[in-house]
Structure 1
């Protein structure tokens, strides 16, 4: 089992950071820009002329730490693998966030979603509200957790198959305009269903000897995807094709204008490809493949105050026919990659644009 810090230009110890590593990078910027630059890139809390106190947005307690099944102790933004075939995880800082979309955040001009949808094109002065992304509300993350750095890969899935725990051996190819394309071991696993994933979760928990791995709820997923930001995407108001894998062609069609800098790849890329990490180090939270969550589908947000309340609600509704998926995929428009965006697949359907990433829950270490 290995533990490492999230790699940034600053070595953030639990109590704070020395500023001398930052000065050389920020000295050329006007002072007013330095705080925003440091915070956006590395999740820094408070910057002064001679000191940087280091804490991720929403990270109220820099002394938080958690013990793994191996006895190792990890802290927010540290990376670890709990076993030789376990996915690489990143400890998510505790905090709270505003879940859901701001009115007008979606740039989809068509009224296709929600009860009473007409399919008409909205006027240029109409505020676009996607009913399924509302009401926007505050959620406190009261269950500590780590999130997989990447979408689970075909290689990682096949460890479970080889152990005899996962019975489904998925078709590892995607359909493109030129026909089927084979994918490699480091592409996200696709053509798996929500039901298939339960075998993987059970197997992973067996490998570490504790019931600690599961899918994230949609609240846990969205909090991790936003990484302390409040913009349309974790990277800002728009995405480039270097930051996320989505369909440039579909985005052009939706917006009704040429966007020559955008790319259409017609399939997922390996999980380590592109500059696709948010400020907490999680890759491809927007795009590549859409990701299943644990949450049962509901046509609007429930407005619950805590992540534990979302988990309890989902457990109380089991079994449910549809669950919530997040993140958008390689065939989606840019707009569909927003952290607020929600999808509602059935639990038994397999598609070459759906995948998942895993979550690991913690108990706080007694110190």
Structure 2
């Protein structure tokens, strides 16, 4: 196409000039042609810039395209994106100046800035330059209107001496400003949405394709943007909304003013008596049902029948005569109504005819009833007097506790809200107070530990049914008293308990009686214990929490601290006997007899015994108890110095009752968990190394990992009563034997 233009190159001696002409054909790409000629004039084009040209024969042809292939002057396909006003071709026609800049990588610079006019059929720009070698050119072109940019394009091209290079650049429209509505947007109901309209335009006024603004509300409490280009009313007021295209910002204002669409009167049904007055409340709502507050005032009030109901300018309704009417309120041309019903005046009627009898000392309650008239009712004593101790409430309840017997006559009045009333006479009989019940049971049968116990208390007189309870003291452990007067359960601890029982009649009168209940220990079962290693030799100790130590004991027992054992475990019911030792070890280190506790055993020897026992009975997990497990089991739920009955002579052998020698196991009473000889007979090794206590709560403690002395518990037949306490601690090296030291087994389930 360059050859078809008939261009001439400058000859020797000519004053070389760079001549720029710009033309376009409708519907064709815009092409700017720069030509180096010797003052040549090309037909059909207009000179727009001349300047001295270099002496080299390299040429560059530039072709400018609209975005997305849309040629200058064409609006086809643009309207679908930005509307009919998006006409980049029309904007191109308004361009009045062009600027072209070339920047070469080897220092070549060309700057063209000239008036511009689109006309004729020529659609290219060609530039010839003298170059000594290849050079990469950066190209920048912009078209302007009245000094402001319309289109811009950038690109690169590589020019070679003696060759022609073509480059195609895309013209991009430049948004000069954002066009929005100058009038504020009015919205009359909360929740309504209005579409926002805006467009980025060229400096020449035409719409820039695709230059659609984004929107932002500056007062979200009044209006917010939804769906990208709609504004939604949130509350009454004014909000500035910003339109943004690139760095350009324009604003419009949105004003939310709720308009009345519905007028509601509350209550919708007003029931009145003649001459009674009430005020209606006006509720205003917009077209979306949102309340309007504060709203405009009521323009006027109306009534359909002034003879039945009148209404003043404040919505206060006065009932004039029986009947019905409709009251209306007009606000901003919208009317709301309420129905008014005026009732006939009538007194209430007492419908209660008889009152139930009462009794001295017993709670009394009777409610009077009426019908008709106008509620709420008010009750009062018209004449006479109520029985002493009773009162009549304004709600019609006769209540209280009579204090004197007799027959009482009085008249009651009920008054309706319309001040009309009715009266009725009543007679109320109050009977004398009854006698309290008397407990006829004089003594209770003895019980035995481990055997089911049952005894039924008897009473006479008073009013039935009776209710039994414990007035003071406590029953033996394992027994309870039911409200029906039955003492039952299975005693777990021997001894006697003194307590007081109360029987209460239906009239709340009561009497008490003191009883002493003796619980005997079961016959000794030592012949069954201390022989073999079966399950009958062990008690299952439940998991639990207890206070370990004693504040009144030795320093090693302090401070008292909370210990929680999270797992149940088995504890041997007796110390290991000489017979059990002989069965595993083949001999006995002491000579009291097979049912006596084994003694003269070191901690290390006890561990050897346990190892052999576990080898004979694999899976049964025999071991020594931890120190915490031992004290927890010894206490068996008690908090005193000794478990079981709490009396040491009942529970174990010590220097005060042993005669200075060991005794067969299980001759004394067991504690609540069926453990024998936890106090006295022989000291018992536990698993733990000795350490001092701390005040912090412990969970499943096992003692320190190492030490020099092991802990013993329980005292012995040669020790004093203090050593046999549940909290007492003794310690020895694990290698030492003693004729008063043995041990007891534990098992992990």
TM-score tier, shorter chain, comes to 0.5 to 0.7
Q: 1:323 to 1:53 in 2, by over 3 A?
A: same
SS for the counterpart of 1:159 is helix
Q: Out of 547, 571, 575, which is 1:147 matched to?
A: 571
Match 2:555 to one of 105, 112, 131: 131
Gaps of 5+ in 1: 1-6, 11-20, 57-79, 107-129, 163-168, 174-182, 249-262, 363-367
Measure the CA separation in 1 of the matches of 2:652 and 2:724.
9
8 Å CA contact retained: 2:708, 2:733:
yes
2:730 paired with 1:338: no
- Residue deviations 1:34-84 (CA, integer Å, cap 9, x gap): 983332xx4x6x76446979999xxxxxxxxxxxxxxxxxxxxxxx99x95
Q: Highest Rg: 1 or 2? A: 2
For 1:211 and 1:322, locate their aligned partners in 2 and report how far apart those are by CA, in whole Å.
28
* Structure 2 residue aligned with 1:265: 659
Distance 1:361 1:236 in 2: 28
Query: What residue in structure 1 maps to residue 474 of structure 2?
Result: 36
Structure 1 residue 246 corresponds to structure 2 residue 654: yes
> Which among 529, 534, 547 is matched to residue 98 of structure 1?
547
Q: State the Cα RMSD in Å.
A: 3.2
Deviation at 1:170, TM superposition (A): 4.3
**Higher share of residues assigned helix:** 1
User: Deviation per CA, 1:301-330, whole angstroms, max 9, x where unpaired?
Assistant: 24463452x12x44xx13x32111100000
Indicate the residue corresponding to 2:672 in structure 1.
Answer: 279
User: When the two structures are superposed, what TM-score results if normalisation uses the length of structure 1?
Assistant: 0.62
Alignment of structure 1 residues 15-164 onto 2, 5 Å:
21-24=452-455, 32=470, 36-39=474-477, 42=478, 48-49=482-483, 85-86=533-534, 88-101=537-550, 103-104=551-552, 106=553, 130-162=554-586
Change (3 A) 1:283 1:84: closer
Alignment partners' CA distance in 2, 1:349 and 1:321: 12
For this pair of structures, how many residues does the alignment match?
255
Shift of 1:192: 0.6
Q: Which secondary structure does the structure 2 equivalent of 1:96 belong to?
A: strand
Structure 1 residue 289 corresponds to structure 2 residue 682: yes
Q: 1:350 to 1:27 in 2, by over 3 A?
A: farther
Contact 2:651 2:671 survives alignment (8 Å): no
Pair 1:305-2:697 in alignment: yes
Query: Structure 2: how far apart are the matches of 1:85 and 1:134?
Result: 36
The answer to which structure, 1 or 2, has the higher relative contact order (CA under 8 A, 6+ apart) is 1
**Contact 2:561–2:694 under 8 Å retained in 1:** no
Q: Secondary structure at the match of 2:539?
A: strand
The answer to whether the Cα contact below 8 Å between 1:246 and 1:331 also exists between their aligned partners in 2 is yes
Q: 1:222 aligns with which of 616, 628, 631?
A: 631
Relative distance call for 1:265 and 1:292 in structure 2 (3 A) is same
CA distance in 1, matches of 2:637, 2:454: 23
Residue in structure 2 matching 1:209, options 618, 628, 633:
618
More strand by share: 2
CA gap of 1:89–1:307, structure 2 versus 1, over 3 A, is farther
Residue 590 (structure 2) aligns with? 172
